[in-house]
Amino acid sequence: MTQPVPLAEIWRGEFLESVHLGHAVICNGAGEIVQAWGNADEIVLPRSSSKMLQGIPLITSGAADAAGLNTEQLALACASHQGAAIHTDRVSAWLNDLGLCDDDMRCGPQMPSDNPARTELIKTDSSPCQIHNNCSGKHAGFLTLTKHLKAGPEYIDPTHPVQKACLDAFEETTQLTSPGFGIDGCSAPNFASSLQGIARAMGFFASAHTRLDSVSSAAARLTEAMALHPELVAGETRACTELMRAMGGRTAIKTGAEAFYVAILPEQQLGIALKVADGTTRGAECAIAALLVRAGVLDRNHPATLKRMNAPITNWRGTLTGYIRPAAGLLA
């Protein structure tokens, strides 16, 4: 089996201090590997980077249109947001439109990572709600589909019709039978696949606008929604939001826990998936920025790029001590 290879490096002065190893795959719209680093067959849990795949049955079932969902809500269904007011206000309104409330969600409460939202909760001695959970948009989507299917309330159960529909979409787009699942941070099942399978799914999304079938149409709508609303997909200062803005709506990118990243490039009809083996976010952000520069969709000198690729590392006095750089060969 191919071992993980260097994807990002930490340099302190003239010394290579640390290396983030991992795997990365680029697939075209036909699902063929264009380029790979490490082991394309590595079995992975894509975590939150698979939210677009979980969003497909929300549209193909007719639930999204029946509920009158707009592009903001479709973007939130794919989001790992930081619990800012722009996120929680929209999720609350969405639940209200469904005739539901916070208690109907199954993602669990989470302290928001958005500074103003977190500070307000602390100042008022309040507890976070489930709408603050970074996956609350996805769960609002699950509830929309649950209501449309007239299914039971425990929509995170792997045997529930919602999760069965998600698995069907996952396997159709990866073109692989999933070997199983893990339970995600938001309590929903997270289906496993090979890294090539996830890249193949991203290639499917990237080429979806060239096809007319219902699954492709759903994929194209979700991609468009993410590209239109990068601030809803993550939030201010976050890599997904800043890099999508830097690319001017030309791509959709999504992070997942434990240093997973995917990208959908409709103009090139390419999909990217990468996993940093040690689970460190800084390595995944550096690597995805490098691959986006390599693909010609991200300016290597844009401030959002330089914040993550060839980014300076400083100490507590502000002294420059080194850089985080993509590994040799990732950009070439």
In sequence order, the β-bridge partners of residue 276 are 22
Q: Please state, in angstroms and rounded to a whole number, the distance separating the CA atoms of residues 172 and 159.
A: 18
CB 135 within 8 A of CB 48: yes
Q: What is the domain extent for residue 294?
A: 5-326
**Are the C-beta atoms of residues 48 and 184 closer than 8 Å to each other?**
yes
Position 75 in a domain: yes
Would you put residue 329 in left (φ > 0), alpha (ψ -120 to 50) or beta?
A: left
Interval 208-217: pLDDT, tens: 999 999 999 9
Whole-angstrom Cα distance, residue 81 to residue 234? Answer: 4
- Helix (DSSP H) and strand (DSSP E) numbers for the chain: 13, 12
Residue 292, CA distances (Å) to 130, 250, 303 in order: 34, 11, 14
Tell me: pLDDT of 174 over 60: yes
Cα separation, 2 vs 287, in Å, equals 19
Q: Which of 21, 20, 18, 2 is nearest to 10 (CA)?
A: 18
Give the Cα separation of 145 and 161 in Å (integer). Answer: 9
Is there a domain that residue 34 lies in? Answer: yes
Identify whether 318 is part of a domain: yes
Q: Give the pLDDT confidence of 39-71 residue by residue, as tens digits.
A: 999 999 999 999 999 999 999 999 999 999 999
State how far the Cα of 270 lies from the Cα of 21, in Å rounded to an integer: 23
- Is the pLDDT score of 96 beyond 50? yes
pLDDT digits (tens, 9 = 90+) for 4-47: 999 999 999 999 999 999 999 999 999 999 999 999 999 999 99
In a domain, 93, yes or no: yes
Q: Is residue 117 part of a domain?
A: yes
Tens of pLDDT along 272-299? 999 999 999 999 999 999 999 999 999 9
Q: Is residue 140 part of a domain?
A: yes
Instruction: Say if residues 202 and 49 touch (Cβ distance below 8 Å).
Output: no
CA 290 distance to own-chain centroid: 17
Token reading at 76: 């939130």
pLDDT of residue 332: 73
Number of domains within the chain: 1
Cα radius of gyration rounded to whole Å, the chain: 19
More confident residue, 2 or 305: 305
Two tokens at 259?
Answer: 């240093």
Mean pLDDT in the chain?
A: 97
Residue in the structure block whose two tokens are 């979409």: 169
With respect to residue 332, please indicate whether it lies within any of the assigned structural domains. Answer: no
**Which CATH number is 103's domain given?**
3.40.710
In a domain, 35, yes or no: yes
The H or E element that residue 74 is part of is: helix 71-77
